[in-house]
Amino acid sequence: MATTNRQIHLVSRPSGEATVDNFRLVEALVGEPNEGQVLVRIHYLSLDPYMRGRMNDAKSYAQPQALNQVMQGGTVGEVVASKHPNYRAGDTVAGMGGWQQYAMVDGSMPGLLRKVDATHIPLSAYLGAVGMPGVTAWYGLMKICQPKAGQTLVVSAASGAVGSAVGQLAKTRGCRAVGIAGGIDKCRYVTQELGFDACVDYKAHRDSKSLYQALKEATPDGVDGCFENVGGVVLDATLARMNAFGRIALCGMISGYDGEPIPLQQPQLILQSRLTVEGFIVSEHMDVWPEALKELGTLVATGKLKYRETIAEGIEAAPQAFLGLLKGRNFGKQLVRLA
C-alpha cells in the first residue's frame, strides 16, 4: 500500500532575506522500493546555515537547490523496506534524505546512506556532534588551525553545533579556547557547560571597538588559531588579535548569507601577521571522516563531548525553524523531529 509522504519544497528564490513564502508543504505518495533501493522513515532532519546559500541561483561550491523539489539536507531514520543487500528493515541509518517524512534512497550511491549504531550514541547526534557538524569542527581545527598545547584558539558562533565541538576539541589538545556568541545565556553555556576558558558576547559589544576590546581582554596572549563561522565585524576583531603566523579556518560567513557584501576593515593584517587563511568544505575531505567520526563518537559515548539540541516538531515547522537558525534563535544544533 502506498504511503503518504509530506515534504517541504523550495518554490522560489529569496531576494534578500529568506521567508516562509519561499517554501511549500506538499504531499506525495511513496511506494515500495525497486531493486537496489531503500525506503527510510526519517526521524530527524538537520537544518544547517549552508542551506541558505544553496537557495540562491548563484555560482558556489555546490549546485543550487532545485525549485519545486524537496529541500536537501541531512537526515537520520529507520529502514522500513529494502531491496538492497546491505540494508534491512529496522536498520538505523544516516543520509541525505531531505525535508520529508520518507526518503527512497539508492543504496549503492556513495554518501547517500550509511548505517549507524544508536546503542550508545543518540540517533540525533549523528546529525550534529557525530555527523557533518562534528567532522567540520574536527577538520577545520586539526587540518587548518593545527592546534598545539598552550596556544589560544578563537571560535565564533561558539554555542552552535560546529563551534561548540571546535572549542571542546581544542581543550583536549591543551589549548585556551575562547568563544564568541550572542547573549548572556549562550556565553554562560559556552564557558560553564562546554568548558571554554572565556566567551565574548557580541550582542553586548555592538561597535567594532568595543568588540575588539572585549576580545583583547579574553585573549591576553593574542590568537594563534581562528575558526570562523560568521565573518564581518566578528572576523575583523579576531584578525586584529592574531599572532604572527596564525591560522584561520573559514568555515562559514553567516553574516553575508542574505547577499550583502562582507568587507574586511583591515585586510592588510593578513600580510602583516603572515597569516594562513583557508576556506574549506568538509564534503571535499571524505578521507578524514572515519578518523574524525571515531574520535567524536568515542567522546560523545563517554560523555566527554557535550552538545545541545533545539528541536522543532513536525515537517511543517521546518521552514520557520530554518529562518530562526539564520537569526541565531536556536541553541546548539537545530533539528526537526518527524518520528
Residue with cell string 554555542: 159
Domain residue spans of the chain = 3-127+307-337, 132-283
- Supply the pLDDT for residue 2: 64
- Inter-residue long-range contacts of 12-15, CB under 8 Å, 24+ positions, other chains counted: 12/67, 13/55, 13/56, 13/57, 13/67, 14/52, 14/55, 14/56, 14/258
- Supply the pLDDT for residue 256: 81
Portion of the chain with pLDDT greater than 70, in percent: 99
Task: Report yes or no: 305 and 165 within 8 Å, Cβ to Cβ.
Answer: yes
CATH for 132-283, options being 3.30.70.1380, 3.30.1490.20, 3.60.90.10, 3.40.50.720? 3.40.50.720
Question: Is the pLDDT score of 1 beyond 50?
Answer: no
Classify burial at 265, counting beta carbons within 10 Å of its beta carbon; exposed 0-12, middle 13-18, buried 19 or more: middle
Report the predicted TM-score, pTM, of the whole model to 2 decimal places: 0.93
- Tell me: the pLDDT tens digits for 115-149? 999 999 999 999 999 999 999 999 999 999 999 99
Mean pLDDT of the residues in the chain: 95
Task: Report yes or no: 222 and 239 within 8 Å, Cβ to Cβ.
Answer: no
- The percent of the chain in helix, strand and coil, each rounded to the nearest 5, is 30, 25, 40
Average pLDDT estimate for 251-260: 82
- Tell me: the pLDDT tens digits for 27-36? 999 989 999 9
- Tell me: the pLDDT tens digits for 281-298? 999 999 999 999 999 999
Give the C-alpha separation, 264 to 232, whole Å: 7
CATH fold, domain 3-127+307-337, is Quinone Oxidoreductase; Chain A, domain 1 (3.90.180)
Helix (H) or strand (E) holding 214: helix 208-218
Portion of the chain with pLDDT greater than 90, in percent: 89
Residue with cell string 541565531: 328
Question: Is the pLDDT score of 268 beyond 50?
Answer: yes
Give the C-alpha separation, 97 to 42, whole Å: 7
Helix (H) or strand (E) holding 178: strand 176-181
